[in-house]
Amino acid sequence: MDNITNGYGLWTIVIINSLVFIIFAFSFVKPKTSRDWRSFGGFSAFIIALFTEMYGFPLTIYLLSGWLGTRYPGLNLLTHDSGHLWYTFLGYNGNPHTAPIHLLSNILIFIGMYVIFTAWRVLHDAQQSGTMATTGMYAFIRHPQYTAFMIIMIAFLLQWPTLSTLLMFPVLVWIYMRLARQEEIDSISYFGDEYIKYAEVTPAFIPLIGRRKTTKIKNNDFN
């Protein structure tokens, strides 16, 4: 199954594609603290695991080959297209790259990268001036960069689901939520009531969902 003619064993492409997404994220996230490196490292691990199976060795296809062969007897597991599992499960025919689910994943990847870019500009300006980031994406959600990471991961799970990335995704979401809570504790300590009032009217990760209902927020509300 590692035959290059079938789209696997392309380790140069694995490295190039992984570096493109990792360097893009790094250039805007610019991790400094151990907390930053944990969030960035988790995202990087997801990307590497994804492209390793997409162009290197299709571990998920290998592990599921018995079930896939029985469930889809006409499926050629040796082709690269067989890795688009949602395409197979949903009964699409033709080029998987033109299927609606693949096109949706491309749109989500673009949205995620756009959010990372625009959020970084606002955060960078706020850090330079010592003020809170409350404009741009931060006017809609408190943690746009974490949201962007999750959007990109969801997009790739739609495009090329693997057992490893499916297992990693909920763990990374939990990590991002924990990191976000700690960041908010730090922000309350630094900005005080100004951040509390901002958190009361601005959702954490999803626009219009998760606004604080209370008028007082203490540090332990984020534990």
**pLDDT of amino acid 221:** 47
Domain interval for residue 50: 4-222
State whether residue 67 is helix, strand or coil: helix
- Number of domains within the chain: 1
Q: Could you read off the pLDDT of 133-175 as tens digits, one per residue?
A: 999 999 999 999 999 999 999 999 999 999 999 999 999 999 9
First to last CA, the chain: 47
Query: Residue 218 has what pLDDT?
Result: 46
Coil, strand or helix: which one is 86? Answer: helix
Write the burial class of residue 80 (CB in 10 Å: 0-12 exposed, 13-18 middle, 19+ buried). middle
Q: What predicted TM-score, i.e. pTM, was given to this entire model?
A: 0.85
Residue 209: predicted pLDDT: 60
Domain holding 175: CATH number? Answer: 1.20.120.1630
The pLDDT of residue 3 is 41
Counting as low any pLDDT under 50, the low residues of the chain are 1-5, 212-223
- pLDDT (0 to 100) of residue 28: 83
pLDDT at 93: 78
Q: CB under 8 Å to 53, separation ≥6 — which residues?
A: 59, 60, 83, 160, 162, 164, 165
